[in-house]
Structure 1
Amino acid sequence: MFSRGQLIFAGLFLVCFIIAAIVMYRRDAALHNKMYKGSYRVLIVFLLFVAALFAIKYYLKH
């Protein structure tokens, strides 16, 4: 399916990508806390909206 070289490249790329993402997140963590304070409320409302859509779909189907 994949050659050995492709698998090695994919593994190295994945490891490097994860390390870079962690480093960048830690570097920007203080800024995120300051700029996006209270953003969890938006996430909760969005999840409630999606749950309501599924409930409506289930209710109308039965």
Structure 2
Amino acid sequence: EVRGGRSQEYLGPLHRLQENMRVRIEVAGILKQMRIENIKHKYEAEEQAAHQNFRSEKWLSYESLKEEILE
């Protein structure tokens, strides 16, 4: 019966293992998506910080140059 795949001693644990495997695969997929989303958010935050820093430095340079011209 075990070799034929019909034994309850075999099928019960097999079904539990298959269910555990399905759940683990589902959880792993969700975790992967969340990690990818987290990486995207970190990238967007870094990009925004870089743009803000650039604009700030540009404005400071402009103001410094303006002060030099006015002196």
| TM-score scaled by length of structure 2 | 0.39
| TM-score scaled by length of structure 1 | 0.44
Greater relative CO, 1 or 2 (CA 8 Å, sep 6+): 2
Q: State the structure with more CA Rg.
A: 2
